Amino acid sequence: MDEFLQSLVRGLGTGSIYSLLALGFVIIYKSTQVISFAQPAFMLAGAVLVSYLSPAVSFFGAVLVAAALIAVLALGVERTVLRPMVGKPVFVVAIITIGVDVVVRVVTNAFIGLDVRQVGDPWGLTTMSFLGVEVQQRYLVMIGTTAVVTVALFAFFRYSRIGLAMRAVAHDQEVALAQGISVGSVFALSWALAGGLAALAGVFVATGAGVDQQLWIVALKALPAIILGGLESLGGAVAGGLAVGVVESLFGTYQGDFAPWLGPNFGLVAPYALMLLVLLVRPYGLFGKREVERL
């Protein structure tokens, strides 16, 4: 039982990282219909920035500043690189985001070098007792922070004029324009939000282990998460991220005992297997919109 609870908390912790990243993907997708592959780079850059800033302004100050700076960076990228591509096929724009990802990552790598950089978080690998079992503090922090961020985002989209404008743009740009909504500002803001979320995710990945050049690979786990949840759904992104984290963690713990014939480290593959399963049953994801197309 203890083992189960520990894996569950670990799964929800890493799952919250995937959720934050997946939220970024979905926010950009909803407003621009483009999947941005630049998220991994923003995540890495966020973590690296914190590793440089935290000695100066404390860990928490560094996280806030880094999230803000990465948000500004993402906004700048949207404004300069992607805005001129508005109206081009989304496939082309998606490829451009891969280019952005490579550039940002190469520049960031120069600041990492070959070492592992520490982000200076106060948790490290220390554990605490939670519901009677020993779990790593950092997982609880991740779960708590993600919960707060998610609630804030949902309230923003639900109640604020800008959130409402973003939902309107996702539905129909021309009609949104006729209400006086600047579609360009919505694009920029969605990139900024996604950038800030990615930076936060990056910091979480780096707690405990630190930042190295390979950290960005974690961001790819957001892809099965958004496919699971459905590209259009913010709630789906959160649920998908948590599901991927938990499945990965439970497989890591139990698969060796119960299904050793699947081979070692099957936990890493499990989220993708789950994604394929879901796609067979619900091709538009668990919370996605069913597309009806007439031919």
Determine the Cα–Cα distance for residues 87 and 109; give it in Å rounded to an integer.
33
Q: CB burial class (10 A; 0-12, 13-18, 19+) of residue 192?
A: buried
Q: 135 by DSSP, 3-state: which?
A: strand
- In the complex, the residues that contact another protein under the rule CB under 8 A are 152, 155-156, 159-165, 167-168, 171-172, 174-183, 189, 192
In the bound state with another protein, the residue whose beta carbon lies nearer, of 83 and 171, is: 171
Closer of 66 and 219 to another protein (Cβ): 66
What's the residue count for the chain? 295
Residue with token string 């399963």:
277
Q: At closest approach, how far in Å is the CB of 163 from another protein?
A: 7
Task: Please report how close the Cβ of residue 285 comes to another protein at its closest, in angstroms.
Answer: 17
Q: Residue 176 Cβ, how far from another protein at the closest point, in Å?
A: 8
Q: What's the CA gap between 232 and 285, in Å, rounded?
A: 9
Q: How far is CA 74 from CA 3, 28, 168, 210, in A?
A: 40, 11, 22, 23
Q: In terms of CB distance, is 23 or 112 closer to another protein?
A: 23
Taking the complex as a whole, the smallest distance from the CB of residue 68 to another protein amounts, in Å, to 10
Least distance in angstroms from the C-beta of 181 to another protein: 5
Q: How far is the CB of 140 from another protein (least distance, A)?
A: 24
Q: Which is nearer to another protein, 125 or 175 (CB)?
A: 175
H helix or E strand, kind and range, residue 162 = helix 161-171
Q: Which is nearer to another protein, 132 or 180 (CB)?
A: 180
The secondary structure of the chain in percent helix, strand, coil, rounded to multiples of 5, reads 75, 5, 20
